[in-house]
Structure 1
Amino acid sequence: MKKSAKIGIITLLSILLVVIGVACYAAISFQMAKEKSESKLSTINQNFTGDEQSSDKELTVMVVGNDSRDDDEDQGRSDTLMVAHYDGKTKQPKLISIMRDSYVDIPNRGMDKINAAYAYGGAQLTKEVLNKDFDLPINYYVVMDFKEFSDIIDELYPKGVTIDAEKDINLDGVDIVKGKQTLHGNSLLQYARFRMDEEGDFGRIRRQQQVMDALINQSKDLIPIWELPQVAGKLVGKIDTNVSTSLLIDLAKDFLSGKVKPLKSLSVPVQGTWDFNDYTESGSVIELDAEKNAEAINAFMKTN
């Protein structure tokens, strides 16, 4: 065998060993980080079955925010319900925020607020409501409580998140003044969940979308790529989700590299398709035209 051929083989084997070593390190660091994190997997969501994706480059994730404090009379209900869509081909992220008091037909339960679906049947039943009422397919789910959201923000954004607060806010001992400032986990959480004013959930959803937009815009170069498996392991250990490790890391690479386009947002119900109703067994609700909102969602999902 010629000397040049031997050198070529040795070089190839060396590259393979490096690749295998990096892969093993990534897998081990991910698993160790996951095991050290507090597991949030719940039995209520073990029966979740995701809808088929229209493309292997697209995914739609149902995001449930859960206020799990013991003194909450709505224990188990979803406090926040959003649907995140990402097209890996066009690099376009989209976010649909759904009012928690939306009055919908929950399978085998009848008419109720949409946030009750999670208490009745977890992620699977909530997905079925989104399928049925809004013709919205869901591939994956993510469920996290408020404390974990705060911890995750501090983990990913140790220097905080810059927000131009639209108003003075006081909630759960946190004071936020109007104007541009840097917020850390708990303060950012209170800004996103505040609804004790005349706008109620409408203002809260607008601020939640503002926060999500800031998180995406400020995600570039947060952490080195080689630390991604370890960070992903910590996150997966803290939340309840069926998003695979490999998919989570692939998505994170796009956001960390700054390749994604600006976030597009939609609030449901859309303007002109709803009315307040205070005379239901569920209390004060938002009655909506499900068909018109399904049409709006469909048009939103098709925009580039």
Structure 2
Amino acid sequence: MKNYYGIMSTSEINVIRLGGASMEGKKRKRVRVRWGRIFGALLLLCVFIIGGCSVIQYVQGTQEAGSKSSKTQKEFHSFKGTKSKIGDTNILLLGNDTRGEKHSRTDTIMIAHYDQKAHNVKLISLMRDMFVSIPGHGKEKLNAAYAYGGPELLRQTITENFGVDIQYYTIVDFQGFEKAVDTLVPDGVEIDVPHDMSSGIGMKLKKGKQVLHGNELLGYVRFRHDRLSDFGRVQRQQEVVTKLMDESIQLHNVVKLPKLMGIMNSYIDTNMDTSTIIAIGKDVITKQGGKLETLRLPEDGTFENRRIDGIGDVLQVDFEQNKEALKQFLQGTGETRK
């Protein structure tokens, strides 16, 4: 209100100022709340987009695998490996070229060792022709254990002969290997092929540096008709696994993992639950513990070639030397050994 002279009193001016300040404060508050809601909405939208893309990629991977998958019903439900007291994880990796047999012999036998403290992954290749003791079946080639009793009997055989237990198994169909390679590295992998390869792999690979895709890379790792025989095949397997692991931890390939898991779900048989796979995969990708270390058993100088009637050519192994070599490899941080 104005006084007689048309001038507002000091008290009236203060009331108006306070009222204006209050209104301005309300406006500011409303603005803050509005931007907060917008930010929250955008964040939620991003989560849905990322999650949606992951689901879509997983479904696409499953659809791409489709009816081409030769994966059979899971036949081996029992796998009794005990948990490591120090938290390390051993995974039995098997490559299987099944053509409908109930129990076929496995073409590839590896152990992937994950060290949770150092965040390192180590790879042990086991020669399939090693002459070993198979529980309940006497002495035979190592890969016969899989034919007799699946991954569980193979686990028991490895534990008995080499003193190491295994917690999980993963059987990868060869078609799944091709699909995984082409998804992870669609432009292929550069390989220096040491000599011409054709026998037993259904294709011809020329000597020299070249880029190989899924099917060709499978032929490369399976070839064994040269002077190195199975030893050369195992060496090439370790080479390819190392290169694929290097590719998998690259940032641009992390986004492909949901699709890759969708594809592999149709070609893989494993007792690993999804949470374990994600936990190990995330740790390997984020921690990047170092270069993949590899070992081949038996080591050079610890075996002899022999021929056993009714069984064929085998590797007669000094198990004490190889058990010690394996122990040192798992406990230490040594270089690649053969």
Same fold (TM over 0.5): yes
Kept in 2: contact 1:67–1:75 (CA 8 A):
no
1:108 aligns with 2:136: yes
Match of 1:63 in 2: 93
Deviation at 1:107, TM superposition (A): 0.7
1:164 aligns with 2:164: no
User: How far apart, CA to CA, are the structure 2 residues paired with 1:23 and 1:154?
Assistant: 23
Kept in 1: contact 2:57–2:262 (CA 8 A):
yes
SS for the counterpart of 1:295 is helix
2:79 is aligned with what amino acid?
F
Match of 2:230 in 1: 201
Deviation at 1:168, TM superposition (A): 2.0
% identical equivalent positions: 36
Kept in 1: contact 2:131–2:315 (CA 8 A):
yes
TM (normalized to structure 2)?
0.77
Kept in 2: contact 1:80–1:100 (CA 8 A):
yes
1:151 aligns with 2:199: no
Match of 2:239 in 1: 210
The one of 229, 237, 243 equivalent to 2:272 is 243
Match of 1:190 in 2: 219
2:193 is aligned with what amino acid?
A
Match of 2:145 in 1: 117
Residues 7 and 224 (structure 1), Cα distance of their counterparts in 2 relative to 1, 3 Å cut = farther
1:63 is aligned with what amino acid?
L
Deviation at 1:79, TM superposition (A): 1.0
Residues 183 and 251 (structure 1), Cα distance of their counterparts in 2 relative to 1, 3 Å cut = farther
Kept in 1: contact 2:202–2:219 (CA 8 A):
no
Answer 1 or 2: which has greater strand percent: 1
Kept in 2: contact 1:67–1:145 (CA 8 A):
yes
Residues 12 and 47 (structure 1), Cα distance of their counterparts in 2 relative to 1, 3 Å cut = farther
Kept in 2: contact 1:134–1:294 (CA 8 A):
yes
Deviation at 1:257, TM superposition (A): 6.1
The one of 83, 92, 98 equivalent to 1:52 is 83
1:136 aligns with 2:164: yes
Kept in 1: contact 2:175–2:267 (CA 8 A):
no
1:236 is aligned with what amino acid?
N
The one of 291, 294, 302 equivalent to 1:265 is 294
Deviations 1:145-196 (A, max 9, x none): 2222122211221111111222221143322222221101111111111111
User: How far apart, CA to CA, are the structure 1 residues paired with 2:118 and 2:49?
Assistant: 29
Deviation at 1:112, TM superposition (A): 0.6
Kept in 1: contact 2:181–2:214 (CA 8 A):
yes
Deviation at 1:280, TM superposition (A): 3.5
SS for the counterpart of 2:204 is strand
The one of 257, 261, 264 equivalent to 1:228 is 257
Kept in 2: contact 1:102–1:288 (CA 8 A):
yes
The one of 314, 318, 322 equivalent to 1:285 is 314
Kept in 2: contact 1:97–1:267 (CA 8 A):
yes
2:213 is aligned with what amino acid?
H
Residues 124 and 15 (structure 1), Cα distance of their counterparts in 2 relative to 1, 3 Å cut = farther
User: How far apart, CA to CA, are the structure 2 residues paired with 1:41 and 1:14?
Assistant: 45
1:32 aligns with 2:59: yes
Kept in 1: contact 2:248–2:254 (CA 8 A):
no
Residues 227 and 246 (structure 1), Cα distance of their counterparts in 2 relative to 1, 3 Å cut = farther
Deviation at 1:231, TM superposition (A): 2.5
Q: Which runs of 5+ in 1 are unaligned?
A: none
SS for the counterpart of 2:165 is coil
Deviation at 1:273, TM superposition (A): 1.7
User: How far apart, CA to CA, are the structure 2 residues paired with 1:87 and 1:22?
Assistant: 34
TM (normalized to structure 1)?
0.85
Match of 1:174 in 2: 203
- Map 1:5-44 → 2, pairs under 5 A: 17=44, 21=48, 25=52, 28-29=55-56, 32=59, 36=63, 37=65, 40=71, 42-44=73-75
Q: Give the paired residue count.
A: 301
User: How far apart, CA to CA, are the structure 1 residues paired with 2:77 and 2:53?
Assistant: 27
Aligned-residue CA RMSD (Å): 3.1
Q: Which runs of 5+ in 2 are unaligned?
A: 1-25, 334-338
User: How far apart, CA to CA, are the structure 1 residues paired with 2:49 and 2:272?
Assistant: 23
Residues 108 and 23 (structure 1), Cα distance of their counterparts in 2 relative to 1, 3 Å cut = farther
Deviations 1:204-247 (A, max 9, x none): 11111111122123334374544432332222232111222233
Kept in 1: contact 2:58–2:261 (CA 8 A):
no
Query: Per chain length, whose mean CA-contact separation is higher, i.e. which structure has more relative contact order (CA < 8 Å, sep 6+)?
Result: 1
User: How far apart, CA to CA, are the structure 2 residues paired with 1:255 and 1:158?
Assistant: 22
2:269 is aligned with what amino acid?
D
